[in-house]
Amino acid sequence: MKVLVPIKRVVDYNVKIRVKADQTGVDLANVKMSMNPFDEIGVEEAIRLKEKGVATEIIAVSVGPQEAQETIRTALAMGADRGILVKVAHEVEPLTVAKILAGIAKAEGPQLIILGKQAIDDDSNQTGQMLAQLLGWAQGTFASKVTIEGGKAEVTREVDGGLQTVRLNLPAIVTTDLRLNEPRYASLPNIMKAKKKPIDEKSPSDYGVDPAPRLKVLKVSEPPKRKGGVKVKTVQELVEKLKNEAGVI
Amino acid sequence: MAVLLIAEHDNKSLKDATAKAMSAATALGGPVDVLVAGHNAKGVADAAAKLAGASKVLLADDAQYANQLAENMAALVVELAGKYDAVLSPASTSGKNFMPRVAAALDVPQISEIVSVDGPDTFTRPIYAGNAMQQVQVAGGKKVITVRTTTFKAVGTTGSAAVESIGAAKGPGTSEFVRDELSKSERPELAAARVVVSGGRGMQSGDNFHLLEKVADRLKAAVGASRAAVDAGFVPNDYQVGQTGKVVAPELYIAVGISGAIQHLAGMKDSKVIVAINKDEEAPIFQVADYGLVADLFKAVPELEEELKKQGY
């Protein structure tokens, strides 16, 4: 079966971001960009399914600027078979991405689409669920384990109180949580091989989608700073302060 | 503006998150109806009826809602959404699961994890793990919103709304519940606890978490952990406090052996009082702590437990 892995190019998770002085957004100039870490887990899971003989072809898809091609190359170097880049110059909202991915899913006919549970830039946590709804498919979000068997996917999910396991008809959507797997590094030979793998370029209009944002961002600001307090010397002093000064115990 | 608030519950009790999300719902301007979708959940509906600000409680009591499967929940909420201008839910793993489906079905963007209602169509939400705050305005259409409940106060229980039973919606039947493996604990739930004691990589092993548990027992606290401690395999993921785990805002947060990575701070910096115990005095956690104790945790934590015991906790 075909597996689709949508991936997003985001500010690298190690970068300390800066809010622009004019409050129009976050400064992305000369900032290191990488594949969204949750998406990387999605690519890894697809590759493992292929290694087990469950998946036959892995298609990495990104909706974003021309540079997102590099992110697709990373997925190809890890082990995806081919790529699709849907070019959009500006930021795209999750619903727009979901509509484009729904168009690709209809054209490609995957049995499984594995997405990151959220992108670490806008922290929306929406695209996978929206895509599932648009396609009328079942979803297993925040997955820590995925098993494909007998035309169904059994997905163990990380929920607030512990774990929940659900069984989904295929085709289905899975979104990844941190503990699903540890993504591999691409080897040098695979990086070289990835350069020859094909990447199709598309535009949102190919799928009949208008990419214009629908939410208006009024401003992006620094979060309120929390001030450090005092150092205490002993445990006794700590308990005394918590009791009599802060009044929280 | 007619608002529908989806209740968070486990069929037995109404979660505190619902009372907090109610604050956000009423800030939109009323009236607010509360949907309780569950199985044998009449008690939950009765509790929801007491929430100040509830004008009506809709109870959809059916086996298909017992486990809050996203496909079935979304089908129900979409069917009800016609009468409302806004649909809200706490940003719990359950709300995060079905709400984007609702938004997609209604063809509107979702506004995730709002921390404030700045106007009837304007909201603030954290981005980049809370390192920036984004204020957004919705152009039109229905609003689909999840609420980061830690930044809203729970409403009181002075209400007396009527409970109206409604029928189940036809679910798509594409998914089924297999099992739950919920962490069993006598302690309060992490997200709702008044006091949280968390451990980081400095704990060195899962076994050492019993030191924290002893302190937690004295303070009736929940036990949490940093992502580093979870990644190191010390404790399960549902202990995780941080941007990719749970966001908590207790009265007292005690961080033990936690350096204070950005991703952890994002999950606890709204706590009222923060205590840090760490042997590295340069640790960033001290920059946000109200009370810092530079000490070896293996000495300080048993001492803390002893001191609390001495004082009758």
Model ipTM?
A: 0.95
Chain A's closest residue to B70, CA to CA, is: A139
Q: Which residues does A212 contact at the CB level (< 8 Å), separation at least 6?
A: none
pLDDT at A51 over 90: yes
Tokens of B192: 């709702």
Q: Which chain B positions have a beta carbon within 8 Å of A139's beta carbon?
A: 70-71, 97, 101, 175
Position B245 scores a pLDDT of: 80
Q: How many CB pairs under 8 A join A and B?
A: 254
Position B189 scores a pLDDT of: 84
Position A224 scores a pLDDT of: 84
Q: pLDDT for A14-27, tens place per residue?
A: 888 999 999 999 99
Residue A134 corresponds to which amino acid? L
Q: Which chain A positions have a beta carbon within 8 Å of B235's beta carbon?
A: none
Judged by CB atoms closer than 8 Å, whether chains meet at B183 and A214 is answered as no
CA distance B159 to A34: 50
Q: Considering its fold, how many domains does chain A have in total?
A: 1
Q: Which of residues 75-104 of B touch A (CB under 8 A)?
A: 92-94, 96-104
The percent of residues above 90 in pLDDT, for chain A, comes to: 93
CA distance B112 to chain A (A): 6
Task: Find the domain containing A103 and state its range.
Answer: 2-246
pLDDT at B209 over 90: yes
CB-nearest partner of B178 from A17, A19, A154: A154
Q: Are B242 and B225 in contact (CB under 8 A)?
A: no
CA distance A243 to chain B (A): 10
CATH number of the domain within which A21 lies? 3.40.50.620
Position B150 scores a pLDDT of: 86
CA distance A79 to A49: 11
Position B238 scores a pLDDT of: 85
Q: Which chain B positions have a beta carbon within 8 Å of A167's beta carbon?
A: 175-178
pLDDT at B183 over 80: no
Q: Which of residues 27-86 of A touch B (CB under 8 A)?
A: none
Q: pLDDT for B84-124, tens place per residue?
A: 999 999 999 999 999 999 999 999 999 999 999 999 999 99
Q: Which chain A positions have a beta carbon within 8 Å of B181's beta carbon?
A: 162-165
> Among candidates A57, A86, A44, A52, which has minimal Cα distance to A174?
A44
Chain B's closest residue to A159, CA to CA, is: B93
Length in residues, chain B: 313
Judged by CB atoms closer than 8 Å, whether chains meet at A162 and B183 is answered as yes
For chain A, say whether B72 makes contact (Cβ under 8 Å).
Answer: no
CA distance B280 to B303: 18
CA distance B48 to A171: 37
Q: How far apart are the first and last CA of chain B?
A: 47
Position B184 scores a pLDDT of: 75
CB-nearest partner of B128 from A26, A125, A161: A26
What's the whole-number average pLDDT of chain B? 95
For chain B, say whether A11 makes contact (Cβ under 8 Å).
Answer: yes
Q: pLDDT for B243-284, tens place per residue?
A: 778 889 999 999 999 999 988 998 898 899 999 999 999 999
Mean pLDDT of the region B219-248: 91
Greater confidence, B244 or B213?
A: B213
Judged by CB atoms closer than 8 Å, whether chains meet at A139 and B243 is answered as no
Q: pLDDT for A164-192, tens place per residue?
A: 999 999 999 999 998 899 999 999 999 99
Position B300 scores a pLDDT of: 98
Q: Are A102 and A134 in contact (CB under 8 A)?
A: yes
